[in-house]
Amino acid sequence: MPTIITPCVKVCVLDPQTGLCRGCARRGDEIARWGAMSDAERRQIMALLPDRMTRLQTAAPAR
């Protein structure tokens, strides 16, 4: 069975402001369904992640 590619980096915390995971930039429902998604669905979401990560970094409070 082929390995499912995942953007998970083991930092599983949903940002309350954006609703996106701070580690991978997926939404909670996407994380929950990831294993059941088709390759096409996963590729579509993967294409959105760079912009989402930028949004997360912009929304993050200053440290």
Global pTM? 0.85
Tokens representing 59 are 């929304």
Q: How many C-beta neighbours within 10 Å does residue 21 have?
A: 24
Please count the CA atoms within 13 angstroms of the CA of 56 that sit on its side-chain side.
19
Query: pLDDT tens for residues 9-58?
Result: 999 999 998 999 999 999 999 999 999 999 999 999 999 999 999 999 88
The whole-angstrom separation of Cα 53 and Cα 44 is 15
Domain that holds residue 34: 11-55
Gyration radius of the chain's alpha carbons: 12
| Residue 49 domain flag | yes
Q: Which range has the worst mean pLDDT, 2-6, 50-54, 57-61?
A: 57-61
**Of 62 and 53, more confident:** 53
| Residue 60 domain flag | no
Residue 61 binned pLDDT confidence (cut-offs 50, 70, 90): low
Please state the domain count of the chain: 1
